[in-house]
Amino acid sequence: MSGILVSMAWQKALMVKDGKSKSMEMFDGESRQVKEASYTRLCSTKDILTVNGLFPGPTLHLRQGDTAFVHVHNKGKENFTIHWHGILQPMYPWSDGPEFITQCPIMPGNSFIQKVIITEEIGTLWWHGHSDWSRATVHGAIIIYPKRGDRYPFPKPDAEIPIILGEWWKRNITDVVEEFLHSGGDPARSDAFMINSHPGDFNSCSVIPDTFKLNVTSGRTYLLRMVNAVMNNLMFFGIANHTLTVVGTDGSYTKQLKSGYIAIAPGQTMDLLRTPLL
């Protein structure tokens, strides 16, 4: 069977390309039996739920037509699933992720192989935790390349960069959820929006690692693979003195649209070419 075998474990992961001689191990493979990783943002540190200790989580690289088998090992203390956002899963909803809807949650200490079937999707999608608000920190991009021999319907980019929009609460996310479910009101606002888990230089305590920076070479074309992983907010994105060309959204190519900025809804993905203004 053609496809890619991916192992996605809390803190420990092994990513293996199926078939032939291609076999590669990603991540350090260390066995750490904790579910949470410690991250410092906005001058404070807390433990957050992650995949493999990464925030954002690892990017899955697939091709149109691939089938991926993702081995999820829940080493946390709560039930858990992962959802493959925007993937159609034709005739196979059984490992699509929403707990108690299409599958049972993975219980603490247990493993489950989630089968992810890529048919016509192409471009950028994402995966995220689908239990309570786990998706606030458990998420990552899915990049779906054209089939071998197929080309992009736009100039081949020189580089492709995941840009994941997220947000950060100084408080424990579980407490935020419990509070608003109890009150019936809106959830408490997050303390910062982030790009690739960095809140940027608007915050007084930001230091260099708190800002996402992308070094670019003049005249080159960059494909930004954007995911809006914030919980509930429409986000606006632009780059000073540049235009963006939208070439895809939600796992499909689109008619190309040039704009100085874009609006992206929560859960939406977008493929954007960055072109310098001449």
List residues near Cu ion by CB under 5 A: 85
Evaluate whether 29 touches 36 at the Cβ level (below 8 Å). Answer: no
Q: How many H helices and E strands in the chain?
A: 1, 18
CB nearer to Cu ion: give 73 or 85: 85
Q: Closest-CB residue for Cu ion?
A: 85
Q: How far is the CB of 20 from Cu ion (least distance, A)?
A: 33
- Spell out the alpha helix ranges (H) of the chain: 173-183
Q: What SS3 class is residue 178?
A: helix
Closer residue to Cu ion (CB): 50 or 245: 50
As measured in angstroms, the least distance from the Cβ of 85 to Cu ion is: 3
Please, what is the minimum distance in Å from the beta carbon of residue 86 to Cu ion?
7
Kindly state the smallest distance separating residue 23's Cβ from Cu ion, in Å.
31
- Least distance from Cu ion to the Cβ atom of residue 267, Å: 5
22: left (phi over 0), alpha (psi -120 to 50) or beta: beta
CA–CA dist 140, 11 (Å, integer): 15
Q: Rank residues 95 and 245 by Cβ distance to Cu ion and give the closer one.
A: 95
Report the 10 Å Cβ neighbour count for 275. Answer: 17
CB of 101 to Cu ion, least distance (A): 12
| Strand runs labelled E in the chain | 4-9, 14-16, 36-41, 44-49, 60-63, 67-73, 82-85, 111-117, 123-129, 139-145, 159-168, 192-195, 222-228, 235-238, 242-249, 252-259, 261-264, 269-276
Distance CA 75, CA 7 (A): 14
Least distance CB 226 / Cu ion (angstroms): 15
Q: What's the CA gap between 266 and 128, in Å, rounded?
A: 12
**Nearer Cβ to Cu ion, position 85 or 274?**
85
41 vs 135 by CB, closer to Cu ion:
135
DSSP characters over 5-29: EEEEESS--EEE--STT-----S--
The residue among 6 and 229 lying less far from Cu ion, judged by its C-beta, is 229
Please give the structure tokens belonging to residue 202: 């608007």
